Amino acid sequence: MIIEIVKIFVFPGIAFILFMAFFSSWMVRKIVARMENRVGPPFLQPYYDMGKLLAKQRVYPHESIASIMHLMPMIQLGVAILIALFMPVYSPKGILSFDGDVYFILFLISIHGATAYFVGWASRNPYTISGAGRAVMTEISLEIPLAVSIASMGIMTKSIRISEMTEKLGISMFPRTETGEIVNKLTWLYLIPWTILIIVAIYSAIGALELSPFSAPHAETEIVHGWSTELTGADLAMTEMADMVNLFNLSALITAIFLGGPRTGLIILNLIEPWTYVIGFLFFLMKFLLVMFILSYIYVLSGRLRIDQIISALWSYFLPLSLIGMLLVLILETIGG
């Protein structure tokens, strides 16, 4: 019982999630700063930022709907933490886990988009309404490619449960005999659709996080700060925190589904019980940081696309790409039997 409570509230639960969220935020900022030849923020900067925002007065503009503007950021943070509870951190199984949880997570991600729209609409400001429209359009456009690429991985691993997908990834891609030899040489071909699908998933994650090149909903020089322009004080802190947690979530989701999460993969280690968890956690961290680095790299090296360019990119390049990936997986499944 106590162990369960510790799991939910401390590790790998809420405290750990928030720490990882702040850490990821700092990490991205630091990587971006170093790439741009700046110094970047100190390690504790996200904590200072949040502390300062939480202490500030909340201001609601004339004619805006204060209750929605107050409620939605809390929902965003709640939803983000709920998603994070599904993420496998040290063992293939997260705190919460059930059949079909992958799709539940996708549903929760789209709730984030909807709350963004409500905030923008309730603020009654040209910038926020523009930003809200853009946020929803981006959200709708990126959801299908993301869903298709995750579904393809589901077909590959024959599961729609994160823990099973994580566990079976290596086995289904590289099935082995007990002595460690790879059974079917053909399965190396799985790497082709896998590459396509992970690219689609990473770009979709960038879209969901509103980073460049898909940062139009937050375009600073055009619409000030998009849908969150009018948020102040604790409300803004909640949204920012939700963004940070989502940064952790999406990186961890890609790590779990495409990179095997805490599993050691091709390296076979015979370890006793607690040490597998420690090694698993270290592997998770390594993969997680790799994903974060790729995210920051794309973010730094691209300009901000216009909203029509984002939509046409997502619908006419990334959606077909994800469908091609799915087709390849299906073909390989049929041949490989």
Partner 1 sequence: MKISMEEIKKEVKTMESRELSDQTPVLRVEPNRLLEEMRKLYDLGLTHLSTIIALQVDNKIQIDYPLSSPLNKKLAPAIFVETIVSMDKPKISTIEDIYPSAVTYEREVTDLLGVEFIGADHRDKLLLPDDFPDNLYPLRKDYTGKELQQKLDELGVGYNPTIPLKEEEDYVMAVGPQHPTHKEPIRFKFTVEGEDIKNVELRLGFNHRGIEKALEQGTWIKNLYLIERICGICSSAHQLAYVLTAEKVDKILDQVPDRAQWLRVLVSELERIHSHILWYGVLAHDGGYDYMFHITWRDREDVMDLLEMWTGNRVNYAMMTIGGVRRDIDENLRKKMIIKLKKLRKNISKHKEVMEKEKTFLARIKNVGYLSKEDAIRFGAVGPTARASNINFDLRKDVPYAAYKEIPFKVYYRSEGDVYATMAVRLDEALESVEMCLYVLENLPTGDIAIKVKTRLQEGEAHTRVEAPRGEDIHYILSDGKNAPYRHKVRAPTLANITSLMYRFKNMQVADIPMIIRSIDPCIGCMERVTFVDAKTGKTKEISGQELISKANRRYRLNEKIKIFEV
| Interface positions with partner 1 (CB under 8 A) | 35-38, 126-127, 130, 133, 212-213, 215-216, 219-224, 300-309
Q: Residue 127 or 194: which CB sits closer to partner 1? A: 127
Residue labelled with tokens 């709920």: 82
| DSSP-derived 3-state class of residue 196 | helix
Q: Residue 155 or 298: which CB sits closer to partner 1? A: 298
281 neighbors 112 (Cβ within 8 angstroms): no
160 backbone dihedrals φ, ψ, rounded to 5°: -125, 40
| Cα–Cα distance for residue pair 334/337, rounded to 1 Å | 5
Using a 10 angstrom Cβ sphere, with 0-12 exposed, 13-18 middle and 19 or more buried, the burial of residue 43 is exposed
In DSSP terms, 176 is beta-bridged to 182
CB 52 → partner 1: shortest distance, Å?
20
CB 130 → partner 1: shortest distance, Å?
6
Q: Which two tokens stand for residue 98?
A: 């059930």
CB 29 → partner 1: shortest distance, Å?
12
CB 45 → partner 1: shortest distance, Å?
18
Smallest CA-to-CA distance from 115 within 311, 246, 222, 292 is with 246
Q: Residue 32 or 82: which CB sits closer to partner 1? A: 32
46 neighbors 40 (Cβ within 8 angstroms): no
CB 306 → partner 1: shortest distance, Å?
4
Q: Residue 253 or 314: which CB sits closer to partner 1? A: 314
CB 223 → partner 1: shortest distance, Å?
7
Length of the chain: 337
Q: Residue 290 or 300: which CB sits closer to partner 1? A: 300
CB 218 → partner 1: shortest distance, Å?
9
Q: Residue 166 or 212: which CB sits closer to partner 1? A: 212
Residue labelled with tokens 């790409």: 321
Q: Which two tokens stand for residue 6?
A: 């510790």
159 neighbors 112 (Cβ within 8 angstroms): no
Q: Residue 169 or 223: which CB sits closer to partner 1? A: 223
Q: Which two tokens stand for residue 336?
A: 């490989």
Q: Residue 134 or 287: which CB sits closer to partner 1? A: 134
| Cα–Cα distance for residue pair 335/187, rounded to 1 Å | 10
Smallest CA-to-CA distance from 241 within 46, 87, 66, 109 is with 46
Q: Which two tokens stand for residue 235?
A: 């409300």
CB 115 → partner 1: shortest distance, Å?
22
Q: Residue 37 or 334: which CB sits closer to partner 1? A: 37
218 backbone dihedrals φ, ψ, rounded to 5°: -115, 15
CB 134 → partner 1: shortest distance, Å?
8
User: CA-based Rg of the chain, rounded to a whole angstrom?
Assistant: 20
